[in-house]
Amino acid sequence: DNGTTLSKFGCQMRFNLRKTFPLLTTKKVFWLGVVEEIIHFMGGSTNLKEEGTNHIWDSDEAEEYLDSQELSKLSHVINKIKHNPIMFPACNPFDLNLSVSPCQTLAQFYVANSELSCQIYQSSAEVSLQLPFSIAAYSLLTCVIAHVCDLVAGECIHVIGEAYVNKADVETIQQQLQISPKPFPILKIHPEKTKIESFEASDLELVQI
């Protein structure tokens, strides 16, 4: 507690991706924004501010950062993913020149029994708005990679260094906790899509149970 926030250090959540998709049902999550961000990421595109509605990377410094990481090499990761656990850096936490503050530090993919799981380490996460988006984004990435690798999506394991809430949001969060959650939806992926860079938003559909 620094006066304006409440925080907890060292948190872990596990989400089963085998049958359902972990999109929060007790509040509205911007699903289209999740899809757009992951599609751009999978295609190696950095032109989010012109092509999409997501503004996480709206700065020249962030665009240069994404270019330097050569996100198009995700296809190289996919080629190896059937043989070895893959440690895939999602950002450089030591780059202090960014006008945004990166929080997704790295993701590790793991294959066992024809299932693909992902463990994401996030150095910090705002619980009310940012965290539900991150859970959905990395779960979607895991499901799509599993699909193109002809694997079954297993788990998305989300590890957070510092989980925090703003004190101004506490009352809203308490109200949200009174809402009974509905069953998670099911993710439908276009069966004919086999290349990671070929996906469009219409290829990814959530179906309510």
Residue 181 has pLDDT above 60, yes or no: yes
Residue 82 has pLDDT above 70, yes or no: no
> Which residues 6+ apart lie within 8 Å of 153 measured at CB?
17, 18, 115, 116, 117, 142, 143, 146, 147
Q: For the chain, what is the domain count? A: 1
Q: Give the three-state DSSP class for 189.
A: strand
Helices (H) and strands (E) in the chain, counts: 6, 7
Please report the pLDDT score of residue 96 as a whole number: 39
Identify the CATH number of the domain in which residue 178 sits: 3.30.572.10
Q: Please count the CA atoms within 13 angstroms of the CA of 32 that sit on its side-chain side.
A: 5
Domain extent for 115: 5-207
Query: Phi and psi for 144 in degrees, rounded to 5?
Result: -70, -45
pLDDT in tens, 106-152: 888 999 899 999 999 999 999 998 999 999 999 999 999 999 999 99
Structure tokens, 97: 């020149």
When pLDDT is averaged across residues 70-91 and rounded to a whole number, the result is 70
- Using CA atoms, how far apart are residues 143 and 116, in angstroms rounded to an integer? 8
Residue 83 has pLDDT above 80, yes or no: no
Exposure b/e, 43-66, CB count within 10 A at least 16 = b: bbbbebbeebebeebeeeebeebb
Residue 80 has pLDDT above 80, yes or no: yes
Grade residue 56 by pLDDT with cuts at 50, 70 and 90.
very low
When pLDDT is averaged across residues 40-56 and rounded to a whole number, the result is 55
Q: How far is CA 31 from CA 18, 27, 91, 126, in A?
A: 19, 12, 22, 18
Q: Which of 11, 91, 103, 149 is labelled catalytic?
A: 103
What is this structure's pTM?
A: 0.81
- Is 156 marked active-site? no
- Using CA atoms, how far apart are residues 33 and 132, in angstroms rounded to an integer? 12
- In the numeric block, the tokens 């066992």 are attached to 112
